[in-house]
Structure 1
Amino acid sequence: MDQIQWGIIGCGNVTEVKSGPAFSKIPNSKLVAVMRRDAALAEDYAKRHNVPKWYSDVDKLIHDPDVNAIYIATPPNVHEVYAEKAMRAGKPVYVEKPMALDAAESSRMNAVSKETGVPLFVAYYRRSLPYFVKLKELIDSSVIGDIRYVNICLQWQPYDEEIGELRKPKWRVQPEISGGGHFHDLASHQFDLLEYVLGPIKSAKGIARNQAALYEADDITVANFEFESGILGNGVWCFTINKGQREDKAQIVGSKGRINFSFFEKFDIIVETESGAETYNIPYPAHVQQPLIELIVKELRGEGVSPSTGLTGARANQIMDWITKSNR
């Protein structure tokens, strides 16, 4: 491909700043069409972002001759069907995370990509963010020696932010739409990044429960996992705490020190060794998906390789299935 001309399916909140504007800020890339089921909202998005075409019919966007690549930014329950439609139309797909409702759907998506020869990418953009590129560099440098274990603690999303008007839960805590709850939405980023910096996870198990009964999805998960390298990991994810208890902490411990970092909210990486502590402050770019989208565009043009593909993206779904289904 010479010019990558993108169409977005599902131009919701994630596309407003994180991803949407980036498609037209990258060389040899342009956002040319958007689709949303509500035609008025699709038109509003298009006009605000200077996109020439908008649709309320997904098939019309997929088969638009001016569109040669598709970004699927919908909830996970329709990722598989839309991705298959696009790939069978010969158009590369960039799909939001988590890749699908579960590992089985992810596997089928990859099978279609293999069958058709059409590339499939997943929006695990932390693999190319400068903050996490630095984290990987520090780990690879052995500054903290041989890695022993990983610990994750994620606590957020208090009740009043999640239920909304008329006590109707949002789609992220409706398993039939999201695949689970906030664990599936957020831990998917974490497991994908951990495999990128530390290698494959070979086993995982956990306990997932709904303690507060505010919605159908589990609201707390505790897990243990092991990497093929022998590194061990554990984590707790709790989404029914008050605002004062909000935490996003991760720690990688080695034989000569440790690295403290955040997956979501903070921009400091702190390396602690016998010689002292060193802090690296690396803010996210304005459009956090732009570095990854740029690498995808380069791959489609034969100029580079994306670190996030359908095969790597499916791994997070597999790990989460191991954890949440191991005690069912």
Structure 2
Amino acid sequence: MLSARPEWLKPKAEGAGVERKIRWGVLATGGIAASFTQDLLGMPEDAEVVAVASRTLEGAKGFAERFGIPGAYGSWAELAEDGDVDVVYVATPHAAHRAAAGLCLEAGKPVLCEKPFTLNAREAQELVALARQRGVFLMEAMWTYCSPVVRRLVEVVAEGAIGEVRTVHADFGLVGPDDPGHRLRDPAAGGGALLDLGVYPVAFAQLLLGEPDRVQADALLSPEGVDLNTGMLLGWDSGATALLSCSIVADTPLTASVTGTAGRIEFPRGFFYPEGFTLFRDGRDPEEFRVEGRRDSMQHEAAEVMRCLRAGETESPLVPLDGTLAVMRTLDAVRDRVGVRYPGE
């Protein structure tokens, strides 16, 4: 979806032909917010962070002092209404994504919202509908989709290098906290392995195959009712399948592979922010694909947001909203199969 370039992004008369920096606001002050802010600070020619918001002014001021950010707010609404902020990065725990992103969209602010996009597909659809109604940019912060390596993977598969895709394998597991009060084990916070970690394998499979026609799943649940260890089998009418898993009780390989009728592609540990992949085809030597630079950088997704804003695009072709909605529907289906419900659903 395209719209005219906003007035606030057009070059000033004295700097004709020169794109000015995009001014970011950061909503939340946790670890992921810090990582993203640090990466934005590494793009001084393109971006600047001008404000941060937290539920407390003290927390916002501490974050602002840490990163040299001029503006600090003790409420989300103040950030959403700040006329000096061009786009907001929402980095709250995902149970608050619907409220935080919705507040910014209502104020006409473009939004980059962390993954998982929301708690469920209903909330995701509400945000997408709001953004489209208002003509405001919205994108899920799915850094995997913006990775140059993964973008090259899509090209290689589209070129027919491995024939028709038949199977996808991917896993994401770690040894998480034992504390039942931790957000990963708290149903009210959208806890469990699936939304925090399983979103990566599901998004990876759907990047290549689209939304599945069938979803099967099994899981180990905690006494609090969140999934600790989950296995998923996705099926497509084409005959393709995806075997995926996620865990917060086991350190899994964190690898992925894509197999087609004429070859396969393998990703090493850390497939969700890969440094490269290997293409195997019968009768040929393995081919290595690598990209220089930090593989875990969030700069790629930030750059895509800023490219879209300058081009007047309200949705990213790399992380399309329809794709985000499709992933959320699959996550809902998995939770339905294993019996995970969050308060209020």
The residue number in structure 2 matching 1:107 is: 125
Offset from partner CA, 1:78-127 (integer Å, 9 cap, x none): 11112221111111111100000111111111111122221211101111
Q: Which amino acid aligns with 1:219?
A: L
Mapped pair 1:23 → 2:34: no
Report if the CA contact (8 A) 2:27-2:52 is conserved.
yes
SS in 2 for 1:248: coil
CA change 1:137–1:322 in 2 (3 A) is same
The residue number in structure 2 matching 1:293 is: 302
Report if the CA contact (8 A) 2:198-2:245 is conserved.
no
Distance 2:312 2:124 in 1: 27
Root-mean-square deviation (CA, aligned residues, Å) is 2.4
Offset from partner CA, 1:126-173 (integer Å, 9 cap, x none): 11112212222221222222211112233322xxx513xxx3442123
SS in 2 for 1:109: helix
Shift of 1:265: 7.0
TM-score, normalised with respect to structure 2 = 0.83
Unaligned stretches of 5+ residues in structure 2: 1-5, 10-19, 340-345
Mapped pair 1:204 → 2:212: no
Structure 1 stretches of 4+ moved >6 Å: none
The residue number in structure 1 matching 2:185 is: 173
SS in 1 for 2:92: coil
SS in 2 for 1:87: helix
CA change 1:108–1:26 in 2 (3 A) is farther
Distance 1:41 1:327 in 2: 37
Shift of 1:283: 5.9
Distance 1:267 1:81 in 2: 35
SS in 1 for 2:255: strand
SS in 1 for 2:246: strand
Distance 2:338 2:274 in 1: 33
CA change 1:228–1:15 in 2 (3 A) is farther
Please give the residue correspondences for 1:121-270 in structure 2 after superposition, counting only pairs within 5 Å: 121-157=139-175, 161-163=176-178, 167-178=179-190, 180-210=191-221, 213=222, 216-227=225-236, 229-241=238-250, 246-262=252-268, 263-264=271-272, 267-270=275-278
Report if the CA contact (8 A) 2:40-2:49 is conserved.
yes
- Identity of counterpart residues, as a percentage? 23
CA change 1:64–1:234 in 2 (3 A) is same
The residue number in structure 2 matching 1:64 is: 82
Report if the CA contact (8 A) 1:26-1:294 is conserved.
no
CA change 1:189–1:155 in 2 (3 A) is closer
Distance 1:107 1:113 in 2: 10
Which stretch of structure 1 is more off in the superposition, 143-152 or 190-199? Answer: 190-199
Aligned length: 315
Q: Which amino acid aligns with 2:206?
A: E
Offset from partner CA, 1:3-31 (integer Å, 9 cap, x none): 532211102101222x2133351654321
Report if the CA contact (8 A) 1:153-1:248 is conserved.
yes
Report if the CA contact (8 A) 2:166-2:261 is conserved.
yes
TM-score, normalised with respect to structure 1 = 0.87
Shift of 1:252: 1.0
